[in-house]
Amino acid sequence: MKLEGTFTALVTPFRSDGELDLTSLAELVEWQIQEGIDGLVPCGSTGESATLTPAEHVEVVRHVVEVAGGRVPVIAGTGSNSTREAVELTEHARSAGADAALLISPYYNKPTQDGIFHHYRKVAETAQLPTVIYNIPGRTASRIEPQTVARLARVPGIVGIKEAGGDLVKTSETLAKVGPDFSVVSGDDALTLPMLAIGARGSISTTSNVAPREVSEMTSYALSGDYARARSLHYRLLDLMQALFVETNPIPLKAALQIMGRIPENALRLPLTPMQKANREQLEAVLRDLQICAP
């Protein structure tokens, strides 16, 4: 699987009673594909994977795979701080038809770099599904260092990294150490364009839930070397990128999708709670300025 372009880190819509809203999920998938997205990533942190049951996790992945129907690749979030559970979730994703798996680095345990390496290697070798590792120290309390990424890049089946460490120097070191067949993609929307400029191959994006065509075009322009057009879109979307992270993701994102009429319920699972009034008003103003409204 080629990890290049813009992949949307999908929300998981819920009904007001807290159950999965698979109808809205299917509609989101169709809209994303129609808008030209390159791939879909269900059950990541944006998809509130931490509060999905194992059965719901499999159901969401299978539903996205079925609706996508092979038109775009599906990378299933299958991470856990338990290596055994990560293997099981990845095997379930493979059986559901996912094209690859995205695994967050183990959180809370705070493993050493050697522990991180063996965690990912075990999942890749056991589950037999192309694996994308995920560096996000803000959620995990540990960083996948460039030297460790380079080790992992040599493990068969590990195809890339979603980099959300917020450090362009570390990202540059990673890019310098991995081979051309290993993809580095951005996991921080406001840094996607700078990362593309130093050699990243795309993004796994939160903002593309709201503006899939424009985020995809920004990435495509940069990859083709047209940085003038890419910069124009980057600055057009910058306020939106920031507004979507004014509270913990996906709190603002689900509010935005409801404002746009893309999901009927702004339903979150505890411990996430609805957006604060002042922040929601700020988000609404950004959406109005971008002329993003109900379909």
First-to-last alpha carbon distance for the chain, in angstroms, is: 33
pLDDT on residue 294: 55
Q: What average pLDDT does the segment 262-272 reach?
A: 95
Confidence of residue 293 (pLDDT cuts 50, 70, 90): low
Average pLDDT of the residues in 206-221: 98
Query: Could you tell me which of 17, 61, 79 has the C-alpha nearest to residue 269?
Result: 17
pLDDT band at 2 (very low <50, low <70, confident <90, very high): confident
> What band does 138 get if pLDDT is binned at 50, 70 and 90?
confident
Long-range pairs of 269-272 with CB within 8 A, sequence gap ≥ 24: 269/14, 269/18, 269/48, 269/51, 270/51, 272/48, 272/51, 272/248
Determine the average pLDDT of the residues in 11-38: 97
Task: Tell me whether residue 221 is one of the annotated catalytic residues.
Answer: no
Q: State the pLDDT at residue 141.
A: 85
Domains of the chain are 5-225 (3.20.20.70)
The pLDDT tens digits for 33-72 are 999 999 999 999 999 999 999 999 999 999 999 999 999 9
From 2, 107, 108, 162, the catalytic residue: 162
Non-local (6+) Cβ contacts of 272 within 8 A are 48, 51, 248, 250, 251
Residue 123 has pLDDT above 70, yes or no: yes
Q: Taking all residues of the chain, what is their mean pLDDT, rounded to a whole number?
A: 96
Is residue 295 pLDDT above 60, yes or no? Answer: no
**CB atoms near residue 15 (< 10 Å):** 14
Report the share of the chain in percent with pLDDT over 70: 99
The predicted model gives 217-235 an average pLDDT of 98
For residue 92, what are its two tokens? 């379930």
Given the residues 108, 120, 122, 134, the one annotated as active site:
134
At residue 179 the predicted structure's pLDDT band, cuts being 50, 70 and 90, is confident
Does residue 257 register a pLDDT over 60?
yes
The reply to whether 162 belongs to the active site is yes
pLDDT value of position 292: 81
Alpha-carbon gap, residue 275 to 255, rounded angstroms: 7
